[in-house]
Amino acid sequence: PPLVPIRARHLQPVVRSLRWAIPCAGMSALYHVGLGRHMDLVSTPALETTGWALFTSMLGFMLAFRAQLAYARYWEGITLVERACGEWLNGFSNLIAFCSSAPEKQEMVEEFQYVL
């Protein structure tokens, strides 16, 4: 297949991601270099446990919040699909119910079909 040229709009997500990733990587490198000299001061068990507990509690909170949001969106989608199916069923059943082949109802049937 022919190569497709990369357009500027395809690069926007990459550029936006790099705006956050590069400063974070730089801060991480500086943090690592700075802690390399003073690792004996930072590596106390209480500080490691507190940091780990803080990280896992924040991660758990974010994960639970996102799961709850996804669950709500799922049920909203299911509700809208069910409503659409009900509307289609109602419309089709009206079409079948009000379209008769009886000659005395032909004028009413044509009027109804015109409405549809």
Long-range contacts of 76-82 (CB under 8 A, 24+ apart): none
Rg of the chain taking only CA atoms, in angstroms: 32
Q: How high is the pLDDT of residue 48?
A: 64
* Residue whose C-alpha is closest to residue 94's, from 68, 70, 113, 66: 113
User: Which distant-in-sequence residues (6+ apart) come within 8 Å of 116 by Cβ?
Assistant: 95
The DSSP secondary-structure symbol of 38 reads: S
Tell me: the pLDDT tens digits for 87-104? 999 988 888 877 777 888
The answer to pTM > 0.75 is: no
User: Which distant-in-sequence residues (6+ apart) come within 8 Å of 99 by Cβ?
Assistant: 109, 112, 113
Q: Could you give the CA distance from residue 116 to residue 114 in angstroms, rounded to a whole number?
A: 5
Tell me: the pLDDT tens digits for 31-77? 777 766 665 555 566 656 777 788 889 999 999 999 999 999 999 99
The DSSP secondary-structure symbol of 104 reads: G
Cβ(99)–Cβ(113) below 8 Å = yes
pLDDT grade for 1, boundaries at 50, 70 and 90: very low
Q: Could you give the CA distance from residue 36 to residue 30 in angstroms, rounded to a whole number?
A: 10
